[in-house]
Amino acid sequence: MKQCNAVLTFAMLLGALLASGAARADVFHMDPGLTSLEMVPVGNPGNAADTRYATPGYGAVAYEYQIGKYEVTAGQYTEFLNAVAKTDAYWLYSTSMWSDYYAAKIQRSGSAGTYAYSVAADRANRPVHYVSWGAAARFANWLSNGQPTTGVQTLSTTEDGSYYVNGATSHTALTAVTRKPTATWVIPTEDEWYKAAYHKNDGVTGNYFDYPTSSDSVPSNDLVNPDPGNNANFQYSDIDYTIGSPYYRTNVGEFENSESPYNTFDQGGNLWEWNETAITGSSRGEKGGSWFNYSGNLAASDRGGHSSPGWGYGNLGFRVARVPEPGSITLLVCGAVAGLVWWRRRMYSSRSA
């Protein structure tokens, strides 16, 4: 019990320290007109895997967790850059974020040590791209560390937290990075991503939809008012890859009927999304297809692709997840221990009477 009291005391002191610390960014409460980072719960812990396309299958997750309702936006990522990339030691910014025709239009000004970042208003609510897996892991660490605004990338901002990256930039080094046991904010594993996208949210079953739009039917890619049922941002034809969707990247959630059973949007289309799973060699997994891909890439049957984790790509973004906090687990254990002690004392007292 003394250990539990110590945990509670530490948690209160940590909370007070964070509350009195330096100013922090807040992607959870963005300025008016900008999409805030919003999470949705994924329940049914212990659900069965989808074994239709592989053995032992995908989508089985033993715990409750949360996942981003939307992909991380250019506006949110700009907040991150201004918080920790005044020097940008580990390549969180790519010039393609500004120069590419389809770019997020995040512009960098100043020189190393005084870099500042801004995003075009009409691109701020679209998903950010040209973000490497390493940069996405650093974004997760930044959330884990309370969104500090020191301007630099250190162990207390981006280099430690849910992932110990500590300066890693090569494909090999980033593929070797693993989720720490104390992790909170993370890049979802393939199973976490797959469950949120396809599981029917009907208990601990192995029931899954074919598409992440709560449907077994190929979605439409029409964006009209009102939206048709079951739609997503992708290229409808698999014949002409030079065209892509007429919408390119759209504001997150703009395809209103792309909602999964767990209330996520755009897990099919808009951008491919990094997941945490390391692939043989020096690469990380990606799922969901993009505006440039056809409908088959959105389907549960598509195993997705994989890319080198030290590079960012024009058709690849990410969303974050939040796994059970170790502090919450500790408190539950402490409560269980206290309950057991009380029960044993009660039983001993009744037997002695």
pLDDT score recorded for residue 156: 98
Higher pLDDT, 175 or 22: 175
CB atoms near residue 31 (< 10 Å): 10
3-state secondary structure of 118: strand
Percentage of the chain exceeding pLDDT 70: 83
Strands lying side by side in the sheet with 305-307: 305-307, 283-287, 272-279, 316-317
pLDDT score recorded for residue 330: 42
Give the global pTM.
Answer: 0.85
Sign, CA dihedral 58-158-267-310, equals negative
Give residue 224's pLDDT band: very low, low, confident or very high (50, 70, 90).
confident
Which of 8-12, 82-86, 138-142, 216-220 is predicted with the least confidence, judged by mean pLDDT? 8-12
Higher pLDDT, 200 or 100: 200
Task: State the average pLDDT for the chain.
Answer: 86
d(CA 140, CA 82): 15
Number of domains in the chain: 1
Write the CATH number for 232.
3.90.1580.10
pLDDT score recorded for residue 242: 57
What is the residue range of 39's domain?
Answer: 1-353
**Contact (CB, 8 A) for 197 and 214:** no
Indicate whether 325 pLDDT > 90.
no
pLDDT score recorded for residue 340: 35
By DSSP bridging, strand 106-109 and strand 116-119 are antiparallel
Indicate whether 113 pLDDT > 70.
yes
pLDDT score recorded for residue 331: 39
3-state secondary structure of 15: helix
pLDDT score recorded for residue 334: 41
Give residue 97's pLDDT band: very low, low, confident or very high (50, 70, 90).
very high
By DSSP bridging, strand 185-186 and strand 106-109 are unpaired
Give residue 341's pLDDT band: very low, low, confident or very high (50, 70, 90).
very low
**In angstroms, what CA-CA distances link 187 with 102, 138, 338, 349?**
24, 10, 35, 50
Taking residues 130-144, what's their average pLDDT? 98
Taking residues 52-77, what's their average pLDDT? 97
pLDDT per residue as tens digits for the range 293-321:
889 999 999 988 899 999 999 999 999 99
Which of 150-164, 174-188, 227-241 is predicted with the least confidence, judged by mean pLDDT? 227-241
Taking residues 2-12, what's their average pLDDT? 39
Which of 33-42, 146-155, 222-231, 249-258 is predicted with the least confidence, judged by mean pLDDT? 222-231
Helix (H) / strand (E) element for 119: namely strand 116-119
Taking residues 21-26, what's their average pLDDT? 66
d(CA 45, CA 195): 10
pLDDT score recorded for residue 172: 95
* Distant-in-sequence, close-in-space partners of 196: CB < 8 Å, separation ≥ 6: 40, 42, 67, 188, 260, 262, 264, 267
d(CA 145, CA 138): 10
H-helix segments, 188-300: 190-198
Give residue 339's pLDDT band: very low, low, confident or very high (50, 70, 90).
very low
Helix (H) / strand (E) element for 117: namely strand 116-119
Percentage of the chain exceeding pLDDT 90: 74
**Contact (CB, 8 A) for 269 and 291:** yes
d(CA 1, CA 273): 44
Give residue 102's pLDDT band: very low, low, confident or very high (50, 70, 90).
confident
pLDDT per residue as tens digits for the range 167-215:
999 999 999 999 999 999 999 999 999 999 999 999 999 999 999 999 9
